[in-house]
Each structure stands twice: as structure tokens, then as C-alpha cells.
Structure 1
Amino acid sequence: MAYRTSISVYLFHALLFTTFANSASVAISRSGWTATADSFQSGNEPAKALYANAASFWHSQYSPTPVGPLSHWIVVDMRAVYNINAISIQLRPSDSANGRIGGHRIEVSTDNSTWQITAVGKYNNDATTKKTVFVTRPARFVRITATSEAQGANNQWTAIAEVNISQETSAYAPPAPGKGSWEKTVEFPLIPAAVSLLTDRKVLMWSAFAKDNFGGQKGFTQTGIYDPGTAESSQLNVSNTQHDMFCPGILLDFNGNVVVTGGSNVAKTSIYDLSSDVWSGAANMKIARGYQASATCSDGRIFTIGGEWSGGSGDKNGEIYNPTTNTCTTGAGIRLDDGHAMNGNAVMYDAPAGKILTAGGAPDYEDSDARTNAYIITIDAPKTNPTVTKTQNMAYARGFAFGVALPDGTVLVLDEQAHVKPFRDDTAVFVPEPSDPVTGTWTKLNPHVIPRNYHSVAILLSDATIFHGGGGLCGPCTQYGGVPESNHLDAEIFVPPYLLNSDRTRRMRPIISTVAASVRLGASLSVTTGGAVAKFSMRRIPLTMEGSGRSYTVSIPGDPGVALPGYWLLFAIDSNGTPSVGKFIKVTV
């Protein structure tokens, strides 16, 4: 792809998790449970985290000094194997913030020897109960590791007042083979309502003026960067551009900078430069808008069209931003009699052939039944009308859905609601469906567990897995007719079937050993690999190749409207359809 485009005593009886809807979850009795830890302070033993009293808590050793540095861990032994899918961690009482967990890792095991990671991430620095939800796994032991303290790096201790673990109430069935795997939950200090993959493989994400709420034109945005390699995430309040970047247009320019237009501050433009790690402002748009579409053109200018609500309704014709002169001009992309359309998605999956998959959507923004319809739009020669062909319907009706173009040429469509209703998780769809454009058919894959509806995101990571996160962003949700349980400060990582063996272990993957960092339009690119491969792909562009064994040459299209100058992910794909980890290359003019 060319990347343009949020107490003193607690008695826990039956704790019911309502943050997800495709399975029931009830707290397990802690009778007979035991706990161990890497260290503890006398009077704050690990068992104190199981006392049903938040005034007593486990605390890692803090005296005498010097104390052992982070990481600190606690292991809970439930004395029997349960099919667990949620963990609740109550931090120490709010009269002291010492030992609050920031960075963390949650693992499960049936034997206290072999461990599976179920969740990683970073908690906010507050006294709220932390609830982590993940795909059901059999486990007897749960290990919670604190990798940082929420107040700051100088604090090398950890405290937990209560640990509760919940189980699936229905019969457990392992994920079906050949249907992919939801590997882990990743937790953030904000709701990732917008994301962009950066050229260093990290994910830039943001919410709005608040980490879990939106509204008004506040002039600042809560942002963060997630590193899939380390599972670390950072947080930054961006205020220098006076731009609340809630529900904007997003794209990458030729140099890999993230360009963000409109949203709550309806005419603003902000640009994130990865090389300097700096946000800066650019020229305001001529037409105020939010929820719009934007794209980088083949000459480096930026085209924006559409939008709704932000800046008023209607008259959202196109405009062009010139990054060289830092100016915006209107008159591009007049919408003529195009009617009101929403909630669907469209994904270009084959750029040379001009193929676009569009699927789902609903007639209205809320309280409206979604559709299963799917179509292929083909853009042919310039100044000719596109053709539209109906393809097989999806198995599930979806509004607010996402489509992700995958390295193998298929398009994965994920979620959202069968009956669209912002800020609620009713009628959530949990089963993703990939579309095979060759056969025109859809396939149902293994379901995830956390609803992803309004204000959620999905994006391909450089290792060919899927980041699927967010949802909600309504704070207490009292003024929107929603519920606060629709706020999801997390993501789930999906491992597609092309990366898995039949027993759900990871396949051996092809390796791109060497490749140039850049290539000109229309030129050839030499690639060496760790072994024989069947084809190469720049995700939306299947590449012509020559060679064999470990040495290949691929041809880059010469049309800048197809191989758009800028950064692309190059994948090598073997005869089993398994892609390599993607390598970023820059296509230049």
C-alpha cells in the first residue's frame, strides 16, 4: 500500500464483564488461590492481592534500598484449569499512587512453564480498575508483569490491591484451523480512533482533545506512538498546531509525512514529520470539513473531498493543497448530484487494473440496518466511465466497517454493526471476512472478542498482521445516547491464515535479505531473498519479476498514478502464499 491514504474496600462476588458481546464472562471464585511474586515488602505479600479488600495489597520490595529494578511480576495459581477471557486489576487505593502499573504484560499458562502472551500495553496513571479482555484460553496460572510505573521512570516498584479473573461461561472451542488467530490484546492510554503506519514500522495514533472523549474545537489532540516490536507506547498532547484532529482526513505525502486535515478544528492542517518527531501546522483548507476523504496525487499535491457535520453539512466539494507553496485552492472534484452516502468502505486492491472493492454500509448514519452488498468498481482508461460489477454478498451486514488490502491480493473486511448505532456495541459483528477478488467469494474467519464499532480502526502492519482497535470515544456517553462500555482503549492483533500452519503455529516465512531503499518509477529493483519465492507484491501492486533461487529483479510500474511516488511495503510471497515481513521502499520520480 502507498500509505497516504480512560474506594477503599472491594468485595468481589460475581463480576460480569460487559465490555464485549460475543461471549459471556463471569468472575471465578478465588477460594484456594495462591500467589507468588518476584519480591514483596513485609506486610504486603502477594496473597494480599487476593484478599477481597483493596486496603490490603501486594507491593514489591521498597526497603531496604536499593530496591530491585523493574520489571516486577506476580503469578496467580487458580489451582485448576479454566477457560479464561478477562482479567481485572485493582490498583492500590487512590490515597497513594506509588506502584501504579504503566507498561505491562499479561501471560497465561496451564503448567507454570509454557506461557502465552494474552495482553500487553500501557495503563493510564489513575486509580481506576484495569479490565483486560482477550480471546478465551485455557489456563491455570496468570502472570502479570509490570514493565514500568505509571508515574515515571524513576519509580521502580509495583503494587496491586486485587486480581480477579473471569471465565467463559459457554463450552470452550479452540479457534478453527485455517481461519486465522487473534493473538493478543494491546492496551493504550487513549482510544486509537485514528492511526497511520509510519515508515519506521511504528503506529501513530490519536483520539481527540481527550483520551476517551470528543467535542468542540479545543485546539489540541491526545496522540501516541505504538511500537509493535517492543509493545511500548508513548503519549503526547499536541497543541502547537491548534488542531483537534478528531475525525479528519489522513494520508502520507511523498516523504512519508502524515498529513492530517480538518476534524473538530474544521479547517486546520497538521503534518507529522517522523524524521524530526515534530508536528507542525500548514495552510488551512478553504472548505471546513471533517470525516472527509483525502489522497496524495501523482504530482505530490493533496486532493480532499467530502465530509459531514464539521463545518456544516453539504457543499463539500474538492480542493487541492500544494505542499510546495503551502496553499489550498478549490474547484477540484465538484460532486454534481452525488447523494448522501455513508458507513460503507471502499478499498483499491489492484492498482494496475484499477480494481476497487466496496462493501457494506447503511442508508443512514444511525438506527439503520446495514447491508451485505459488495461490488467491484473498475477504473479503466482516463476520461472513460468506470464499470461496476456486483460480486457475492458478505455473510454479515456491516456498517462502519473496515477493509484492509492484504499482501496476497485479498481484502479483509472487519466488523462493525448489523444495525448502526454510534456509541453502542449492540449488534456488533465479530467475524472478519476476506474477499477473494479472483473467485468473487467471501470466507468467514475466527472471531475476535472486543466490539469494534463507531470510531474504530484497522490497518495492516509491516509484518503482515492486522491492527484492529479503538471504538467509542464518548467519555461518559450520557449526551450521545450511548454507553461508556463502548469506549475501547485497546486493539487486537490478528494473524491471518497465510501466516499459520494447520496447528495454528507460525509458518516459516520467506525473507527479503537485501533490497535498495529507493527505486525510480519505471525502473527495475534487485532483491535477494533467503530462498525461492513465487511472487512479489507492493500490496496493491502485483509486480512482474524475473529470477530464481535467491536472486530476483522486479519491475516498478512507470505510471505515477499507479506506483504513486512515496513509501510502499514490498512483500515476497512463497509458493504457499506466505508473505515475508514487508520492507519499506521509496518510489521516486
Structure 2
Amino acid sequence: MRLVQCEVERGVRKVSAAGILKSADQTLKDDEAAKQAAFKIRKNKPADLRGLGGGSALAEPGGTPTLAAAAGSLDPATMGRWSDPFIIPVVGVAAVLLHTGKVMFWSYDPVDYHNPANSKNGVAFIWNPASRTGYNIPPPENVWCAGQTILSDGRVYLAGGNLRYPDPNALGGATNWAGTLTNYTFNPLNELWAKQPDMVRGRWYPTVTQLADNRIVITSGMDETGSGAITNAVEVLTPDSNMNGIGTIQVVSTHNASGLYPLQFLLPSGQMLEAGPNAASSFQLNPATWNWSSLPRMKSDHYYLGNGISYTDTSTAQPRQLIMVAGGHTEKVPLAANEWLDGFNPALGWNTYPQWQTPRHNANTVILPDGTLLTVGGNKGLYGYENAEFSTELYSKAAIDTTGTWLKLAPHTIQAAYHSTAILLPDATVLLSQDDMDYSAQAAFQHKAQVYSPPYLFKGPQPTITAAPTNVTYGQSFNISTDRSDMVSAVLVAPGATTHGNDMHQRAIKLRVQPRSNGLTAVVPSSSALVPPGYYMLFVMDSQGIPSVAKFVRVA
């Protein structure tokens, strides 16, 4: 990867074109104009050529277009629409959606990137989707390549980061990357950082996972020695109840992760699943004893940054949960080896999930409000940037249904391989941040992003949530009022907290609902293992599958 970046800087490797760069406010106007134009066209279009949102009118696997796709391959009602690129002046290596509705990015300081003498210099940026602009916010140190999640009170928690860049002159052969022992919380209300107690070992590329009781499990990551060793201490943060307070950290067990940024998910039992990157790394951790137990082997390795999702359906009498792990590579071959696990019955093992049309790693998969999955970016080369993939793929059914197919939609124009991020926004669009194949300071300050509007946004105006509680409790029934009467479903989507394709906080929970006049009555599951405490985006869907703009609701 470093070689590729150096070739870019020398001008011997071309960076992919990013399309027409526009001002942020102009892209907002263009996106709204495109929706209004689609609404007008839809009124006059034959029913069989209208966009289906879920994508059954799109290209089938193998790329053969159906009638509807051939009739209007650029129709946003079938293909969705990407905004023109606009500038976010920081490389979005990590992206977290705050419950204020804003997004926080952070990264290395591009001026000091790869300079061992200035290893602790980082940058961060707060971005507002309403204007597509933002402002810098100084991080406490170079928290790039930390692990991150969101606590029940909305604070962002970060573990580890970059202690030192590789230094060929380091003594004792400690020339590798080194992870810091430090970790922090970030309060999105006053935008202040609070240093938490140091971990016992350094961590660079760790994974952090919120449990049902709001404690955070910290695993993996290169340690502080510069030797390249992966930390095997498993530590747990118990957050302080004060938004600006200092929690406690303790070592609870040891575990040899098979790689960096392992994918981890909370199961309905309250145990934590670890999935990959090695196929043999299929375990669950019991928070009652902190003992690890083996699960059946995965069907494939998912090395070099596969990704995964957790989707729970509580709308029926028998709740279901599906964990899906996708992509990465094995034996130096990029994968479309998607697989799934029943969260309620993990001992039954892994099953084949419908495969992407295009094998890739370094991609991002985002859960949409209608339960479908959107995969963007990544690459098909051996390392981080080679043979970048620009196609967008949409899973044609809700994630819980394993009989769907992946369908190709409108491609993005910015390159989004290693160090790119994608995240669901409250207006039901998806934000994509460019990768850093050109890592120069000049390129970083002109870093590109695009917003994807899925097909459902071109079917008609979004319903509006006119009233809903700001706080709900476990097992509670609550009313959601809307501006019209055809609401059919409701879902809680946890804000994303993603880096390197690993979203450590994203999950979706489809709720049990009862229609009512101009709205729904929804029921919060009674188990915090199904809905960990915290802020969620509450979306409602109408009978056409059009989601509302989300309202943030705190589950406690």
C-alpha cells in the first residue's frame, strides 16, 4: 500500500477521476431537484417501468439488464443516484454518526503522515449533513486506527490509535507500527474529550463492542512495542455515568485474535460473537465468566478487511437475528464469500449467504431503513488500492431473508477502497468518503465525498414523523404519529461507527407494530441484548417502502 501511495506522489500511478466537483450547497440543490423531477416522471410512467426500490427491476447477477433497467438505466427510481463529489477537508478514515445528527471524522495529520517524530498528531472534523459543510475539532492525539463505538448516553468511545509510525531506525528491531495505550470518550453535546484510564497494552486496529449492559469489550490491535505483536489481553471499559466522567478498565481474559479489526457482534444471549478474519476464528465470549467458547468454523477466511452486519426482526411472534459477514480475501484472492449465522442459534454454524456480483475487500456494507443492504466501494487487488471497484450493490430483500440477490445500481465516481468509509444518514441517504491512495496533504485538504440516494427516495415524498417519544424503555409500547396514514413498519437503526470496513456499532432492529390513524404503535423488545441501550434512528416506512427522515430515540 505504501508503494502504491509513493507511486501516486511521484506521478507514475494515476488516481481515478472523481467526477464533477461541486460546492456542497449546489449538490444539495441538485439532489432535491433530481427527486422532484423523478416524482413528476413517475406520475406519467407505466406501472411496469416504475422503480421498485428493493431493486427487482435492476440488473440480475451476471450483469444482464432486465426490461426496466434497459428502459431507463439512469433512472434513479431503479438505480438510485449519487450526488456530485464535494469536499470534506479531512480523510474520512473513521466516521461516526452522532445523535446530534452530525458526523465526526478523524484521521492522521496529512502533514505529518509517516513521520515517526510526529506520530501523535491527528485531525478530526465535524460534518453537518444539512449543509454538507463542517469544522475542524482538535483530537487529543492521533486516534487514527482506533476502535470506536457509541455509549448509551451518546458519547463516542475510542480505544487505542497510533502511538508511532514505523521507524526503520528504532532500536531492538521495534520498527513496526505501534499502538497507544490511551483511550477517550467524546461528548457530542459540548464537543469535549475525556481521557479514560490507560489500557494495559497498546492497540492499533482494535475492535470494541458494546454489551447489553453498556460495558465495552476491547480486543486485538498491535501493541505498543513496535514488534508487530497483536495484543491478546481482553479488556473491558465500564463507563462512568457522568457524560464527562472517567470510567474504569480491567483485563478480564486473554484471547489470541487471528488478525486486526476482528468482526464482533452482540448475540441475543448477551454473549459476544467474534467472526474472523481466519475461518477458524468463530467464538463467543460469555460476559458472566469471560470465558471463550468455540463455534463451528466459518465457511471462508475474511482477511484484509471484510465487513459485516447485524439485523434483528422482532416484528413477528418469533424474533430472528441474522449476522452476515462479507468479503475480504483468502489466499490472496478477493472474495464474494458472504455467509450468515443465526444469532439465536449460533451453535448451528455458518451458512452461505447470497454472493455479491463483484468480489471485493475494503468495501463498506450499510443497513438501509427498509432492511436491505448497500455495499459500496472496495477493491479487487491484493492490497489496499489496486483495481478499485466503483459499483454499488443492493441486496434485493430485507437482510433477514436469505433468498435475495445482489443487484448493481448506479456506480459512485470517487475511489473508495482502503481507508474509505460509508455511513447511513438520518435522511435515509448514505455518505461515502473517498480513500487515501493520494495521501498528500494537498489531496487531504481536497478530500472528496458523495451522498447516495437509494431508489426508495425517488418513489415519492418521504413520510414525516410528527410526534414520537425521545426516550423509551424496554418492553414499552409507544405511539408514532405521522403526516399520513399508510405506515406499515418501523425500525431502529443504531448510528454507524465505522473504520476499515468494520462498523462496530451499526445494527438494525425491525419493531413489532400496530397501524393506527396517521401512524403506528410500536413495541420495544424487552431484552437489552437485542437492543443495547443508547440512541437509535427511528424510521417508519409507508406502503410503498419509502422511509421517513429519522427521529433519534434513546432506549434505556
TM-score (norm: length of structure 2): 0.69
Secondary structure class of the residue paired with 1:178: helix
Aligned partner of 1:313 among 207, 210, 229: 229
Shift of 1:558: 0.8
Q: Is the 8 A contact 1:534 1:575 kept in 2?
A: yes
The aligned residue for residue 519 of structure 1 is 472
The aligned residue for residue 83 of structure 2 is 183
Q: Alpha-carbon deviations, 1:13-63, whole Å to 9, x = none? A: xxxx95426x9xxxxxxxxxxxxxxxxxxxxxxxxxxxxxxxxxxxxxxxx
> Structure 1 199/104 Cα, relative in aligned 2: closer, same or farther at 3 Å?
closer
> Distance in 1 between the 2:394 and 2:24 partners?
32
Paired residues for 1:165-184 under 5 Å: 174=74, 177-184=77-84
Paired residues for 1:153-172 under 5 Å: none
> Structure 1 387/487 Cα, relative in aligned 2: closer, same or farther at 3 Å?
farther
> Structure 1 410/554 Cα, relative in aligned 2: closer, same or farther at 3 Å?
same
Secondary structure class of the residue paired with 2:250: strand
> Distance in 2 between the 1:390 and 1:291 partners?
28
Q: Alpha-carbon deviations, 1:134-166, whole Å to 9, x = none? A: xxxxxxxxxxxxxxxxxxxxxxxxxxxxxxxxx
> Distance in 1 between the 2:25 and 2:111 partners?
21
Q: Is the 8 A contact 2:220 2:257 kept in 1?
A: no
Q: Alpha-carbon deviations, 1:430-462, whole Å to 9, x = none? A: 111122332231111110111101111010001
Shift of 1:212: 8.4
Gaps of 5+ in 1: 1-16, 24-84, 89-102, 109-114, 119-171, 478-483, 502-506
Shift of 1:579: 0.4
Shift of 1:107: 6.9
Q: Is the 8 A contact 2:25 2:131 kept in 1?
A: no
Shift of 1:106: 5.1
Q: Is the 8 A contact 2:76 2:458 kept in 1?
A: no
> Distance in 1 between the 2:130 and 2:541 partners?
22
Shift of 1:87: 5.5
Q: Is the 8 A contact 1:369 1:420 kept in 2?
A: yes
Larger deviation, residues 307-316 vs 192-201 = 307-316
> Structure 1 421/520 Cα, relative in aligned 2: closer, same or farther at 3 Å?
same
Shift of 1:184: 3.1
Equivalent AA in structure 2 for residue 225 of structure 1: I
The aligned residue for residue 468 of structure 1 is 432
The aligned residue for residue 392 of structure 1 is 354
The aligned residue for residue 509 of structure 2 is 541
> Distance in 2 between the 1:357 and 1:116 partners?
35
The aligned residue for residue 5 of structure 2 is none
Say whether 1:289 aligns with 2:253.
no
What number of residue pairs does the alignment pair up? 417
The aligned residue for residue 193 of structure 1 is 93
Shift of 1:232: 2.2
Aligned partner of 2:408 among 428, 444, 447: 444
The aligned residue for residue 576 of structure 1 is 544
Paired residues for 1:40-79 under 5 Å: none
> Distance in 1 between the 2:304 and 2:215 partners?
26
Say whether 1:330 aligns with 2:251.
yes
Q: Alpha-carbon deviations, 1:78-99, whole Å to 9, x = none? A: xxxxxxx4369xxxxxxxxxxx
> Structure 1 277/339 Cα, relative in aligned 2: closer, same or farther at 3 Å?
closer
> Distance in 2 between the 1:443 and 1:310 partners?
43
> Structure 1 310/363 Cα, relative in aligned 2: closer, same or farther at 3 Å?
farther
Say whether 1:555 aligns with 2:471.
no
Say whether 1:431 aligns with 2:347.
no
Q: Is the 8 A contact 2:20 2:84 kept in 1?
A: no
The aligned residue for residue 127 of structure 2 is 226
Say whether 1:260 aligns with 2:158.
yes
Shift of 1:316: 3.1
> Structure 1 316/176 Cα, relative in aligned 2: closer, same or farther at 3 Å?
same
Shift of 1:317: 4.1
Equivalent AA in structure 1 for residue 512 of structure 2: T
Shift of 1:421: 2.3
Say whether 1:247 aligns with 2:132.
no
Aligned partner of 1:361 among 310, 320, 328: 328
Paired residues for 1:80-95 under 5 Å: 85-86=19-20
> Distance in 2 between the 1:391 and 1:514 partners?
38
Secondary structure class of the residue paired with 1:440: coil
Q: Alpha-carbon deviations, 1:243-279, whole Å to 9, x = none? A: 2111110110011001111110321112110121211
> Structure 1 105/537 Cα, relative in aligned 2: closer, same or farther at 3 Å?
closer
Secondary structure class of the residue paired with 2:378: coil
> Distance in 1 between the 2:373 and 2:434 partners?
20
> Distance in 2 between the 1:531 and 1:185 partners?
34
> Distance in 2 between the 1:428 and 1:559 partners?
41
Secondary structure class of the residue paired with 1:452: coil
* C-alpha RMSD over aligned residues: 3.0
Secondary structure class of the residue paired with 2:456: helix
Shift of 1:358: 1.0
Shift of 1:205: 0.8
Shift of 1:310: 6.5
Gaps of 5+ in 2: 1-12, 33-71, 164-179, 241-245, 259-275, 279-302, 314-318, 494-507
Higher radius of gyration, 1 or 2: 1
Secondary structure class of the residue paired with 1:116: helix
Secondary structure class of the residue paired with 1:420: coil
The aligned residue for residue 379 of structure 1 is 343
Shift of 1:544: 0.6
> Distance in 2 between the 1:107 and 1:486 partners?
20
TM-score (norm: length of structure 1): 0.65
The aligned residue for residue 50 of structure 1 is none
Q: Is the 8 A contact 1:432 1:445 kept in 2?
A: yes
> Distance in 2 between the 1:449 and 1:229 partners?
22
Equivalent AA in structure 2 for residue 262 of structure 1: G
The aligned residue for residue 65 of structure 1 is none
The structure with the largest helix share of the pair is 2
> Distance in 2 between the 1:518 and 1:270 partners?
26
Shift of 1:179: 1.2
Secondary structure class of the residue paired with 1:545: strand
Secondary structure class of the residue paired with 2:330: coil
Secondary structure class of the residue paired with 1:415: strand
> Distance in 2 between the 1:393 and 1:333 partners?
34
Equivalent AA in structure 2 for residue 440 of structure 1: G
Equivalent AA in structure 2 for residue 260 of structure 1: L
